[in-house]
Copies of this chain bind each other. A is one copy, B any other.
């Protein structure tokens, strides 16, 4: 605490990201990163941009990237907003669309940054309990006073909600914004972006950190009705005009253009996920039916926390949440098949010993 702080600062409970270790001997499966590097075209575009105009400001409106992304989803550039990672897009969205005194709804087990934003903007929150099988009950998110936010697939449950259910949530919040946080959607059935032209209250947020292998580049986006994008832009331009640097713009453009590479690596991860899930089930683990690039699994024959600790000692970093309902579960990112096989061997060794 410092006497120079605004009194609110003391009350914040900042987000704690998964450990980022710069030790390449560790197999890092704790922050849902992509095991594959970005497309070679992304790297070439960054190198080209670095050699040209780094002394000049980037475009504050990022029109070219908004157009490129819009094109992928059948949207106009006026329906796309770009931010410095989807965390920034989420932070700006909380500020733009939610309002103190009107409770927002989100699931009680969800992305742990939501309560942090709520504290930062002094928002009231109604945390909605998941069902016993960890699914979100759509009616639990109906008739929110101040808006709705949830990830699809949800994190850390990995569970996907069908678009029909999302439409029900949208219809039952006609005067409130519904934010669908699709960080992991490229590993799932379908994006809600196809609903944007039908629902002016829908904001879809995505990131390039997972399926596009660009966690290190910090690019995220929101898609929705032009009025929603205009609101986000007003707030962004009152906070920081140039949030996306030239290299990130150049790299992100290519990440959306090289669809072949995107499809190949995404499908590889989905295949490895299914392999890994089956292997865990053979070992009697309870594994939720993931549509993300991670699984949430409850081990058999050993406590989750103990397995987490022993795997860490063995050089495997996964994620354990010491939280109600999750104390028997582990969240494991999907790496390469080779990494997952090594992990399975380590699990076998730990459980058998």
- From 94 to 140 in chain A, residues with beta carbon under 8 angstroms from any chain B beta carbon are 95-99, 116-117, 119-120
Residues of B within 8 A of A175 (CB): 3
Chain A: interface residue total (CB-CB under 8 A): 87
Say yes or no: is A313 at the interface (Cβ < 8 Å to chain B). no
Question: Which residue in B6, B91, B228, B231 is a CB contact (below 8 Å) of A99?
Answer: B6
A178 CA to B294 CA in the complex, in Å?
46
Given contacts A6-B99, A217-B247, A218-B245, contact A15 B50 (CB under 8 A): no
B55-A46 in contact (CB<8A) = no
Q: Return the chain B residue nearest A4 by Cβ.
A: B177
Residues of B within 8 A of A4 (CB): 97, 147, 176-177, 200-201, 227-228, 231
Interface 1/0 per residue, A1-26 and B, CB below 8 Å: 11111110100111111001010000
B57-A239 in contact (CB<8A) = no
A245-B216 in contact (CB<8A) = yes
Question: Which residue in B7, B46, B218 is a CB contact (below 8 Å) of A50?
Answer: B46
Q: Return the chain B residue nearest A32 by Cβ.
A: B57
Q: Return the chain B residue nearest A255 by Cβ.
A: B54
Residues of B within 8 A of A239 (CB): 87-88, 91, 117, 120
Residues of B within 8 A of A84 (CB): 84, 240, 243
Given contacts A43-B51, A231-B9, contact A243 B218 (CB under 8 A): yes
Question: Which residue in B54, B99, B214, B237 is a CB contact (below 8 Å) of A14?
Answer: B237
Given contacts A42-B54, A87-B242, contact A99 B7 (CB under 8 A): yes
A177 CB to closest chain B CB, in angstroms?
Answer: 5
Question: Which residue in B13, B16, B96 is a CB contact (below 8 Å) of A5?
Answer: B96
Interface-forming stretch among A33-41, A66-74, A182-190, A338-346? A33-41
- From 223 to 253 in chain A, residues with beta carbon under 8 angstroms from any chain B beta carbon are 225, 227-228, 230-231, 233-248, 251
A57-B20 in contact (CB<8A) = yes
A243 CA to B43 CA in the complex, in Å?
20
Say yes or no: is A271 at the interface (Cβ < 8 Å to chain B). no
A58 CA to B9 CA in the complex, in Å?
25
Question: Which residue in B47, B120, B209, B237 is a CB contact (below 8 Å) of A57?
Answer: B209
Q: Count this chain's copies in the assembly.
A: 2
Question: Which residue in B1, B47, B238 is a CB contact (below 8 Å) of A120?
Answer: B238
A33 CA to B246 CA in the complex, in Å?
14
Say yes or no: is A213 at the interface (Cβ < 8 Å to chain B). yes
A235 CA to B43 CA in the complex, in Å?
32
Say yes or no: is A301 at the interface (Cβ < 8 Å to chain B). no
Question: Which residue in B36, B99, B231 is a CB contact (below 8 Å) of A2?
Answer: B231
Q: Which of A3, A57, A59, A98 has the most CB of B within 10 A?
A: A57
B47-A97 in contact (CB<8A) = no
Q: Could you give 16 example pairs across A and B, Cβ below 8 Å?
A: A3-B175, A4-B200, A4-B231, A5-B96, A5-B97, A9-B234, A14-B237, A28-B56, A37-B55, A46-B46, A46-B47, A47-B47, A50-B251, A117-B239, A216-B245, A216-B246
Supply 6 further A-B pairs (C-beta < 8 A) apart from A14-B236, A57-B209.
Answer: A4-B147, A6-B97, A12-B238, A116-B237, A215-B242, A245-B245
